[in-house]
Structure 1
């Protein structure tokens, strides 16, 4: 294993960076999309159960099947990888965002309106901060799930450590098959733990002390 890493450490580090970058950027995009959708959904009580149902059904779609559907539309490479990761990341974030926004006390919102806050100020200064801990939980779930989805995206030549796993499986019995699979798997676990730790830190820095008290 040490010999394997010593001859490929630069490539391992680059693929690790690619994997983390793909997940972080995709989850960030998914967060924006999910929050916008949640704002629209929470304006109508009839849309909330529909959105929750779509979220649940979406998670049952096999990632391989979704990738297969995207190949004729966008080809192979980074684009389908990003689309797949964003799709799956949106689902838990959307559900948690709906729950978070629904949990905001109507009395607090009414008091804010009485102070003269407009819709934008009401959302960014009251609703979003109060719902943020629940939203962040959804983001953490999405980030961890996206690590595995990003690995599967290597099937369409997407960036990241998934290629090492596929290479190891494709050369089972070969000299470095196990090394490829182990490096890819362990690398993804390490990146996942680091990202989750950063999200925990983000939560501590961005959550109002009044909420956590």
Structure 2
């Protein structure tokens, strides 16, 4: 019964899985940019760093279902509230790890680079970011696993992805193929989370120099 359900709806399942993965991937990129911009702005100022860490901690306590519900009124249904919610939750672990990673960069290395005439922007991109990147990437992996589930919740606001199978099945629980629909959505989210994590591990292999990996 289950496999018949999957085979009969394979094109729809595949398309929803692609939408789900693409939504999460785009939001992770956006969250990374936002988190890095904030981290570079605050990590040298103790009270700003503490404020950013506090906001990231409090933000993670907000129920994603409640937040998506609140955003329906100002943003309507569809992609806009989905992207906003997924990006918000994705940015929080990345921000915390970015602040930690940048704070652990040896200041003598930074000062030496500045003494050689490197601009502040070049030091950030050439010295601080590469050295902090392993810690930042760890936060990105945590975010990816977390928001893969959050993206499913956005189906409540008619967002794209596998969450539609979960909500559709739950809304008619006890009816024909309701359980199969829920299982497809849940298992699909788990599989996508594993795939995305493997991709991020590969990204780490490509973007973290061998010397930094050895010293970790």
Per the normalisation by structure 1, the TM-score is 0.98
- State the alpha-carbon separation in 1 of the partners of residues 168 and 69 from structure 2: 20
Partner residue, 1:107: 108
Structure 1, residues 103-162: CA drift from partner, whole Å, max 9, x if none? Answer: 000011111112211111100100000000000000000011010100000000000000
1:174 is aligned to 2:175: yes
- State the alpha-carbon separation in 2 of the partners of residues 34 and 15 from structure 1: 28
In the TM superposition, residue 8 of structure 1 has moved relative to its aligned partner by: 0.5
Superposed, 1:26-175 pairs within 5 Å as: 26-175=27-176
In the TM superposition, residue 210 of structure 1 has moved relative to its aligned partner by: 1.4
- State the alpha-carbon separation in 1 of the partners of residues 213 and 28 from structure 2: 24
Unaligned runs of 5+ in 2: none
Unaligned runs of 5+ in 1: none
Q: Secondary structure at the match of 2:23?
A: helix
Q: Which 4+ runs in 1 deviate beyond 3 A? A: none
- State the alpha-carbon separation in 2 of the partners of residues 169 and 67 from structure 1: 18
Per the normalisation by structure 2, the TM-score is 0.97
In the TM superposition, residue 43 of structure 1 has moved relative to its aligned partner by: 3.4
The number of equivalent residue pairs is: 213
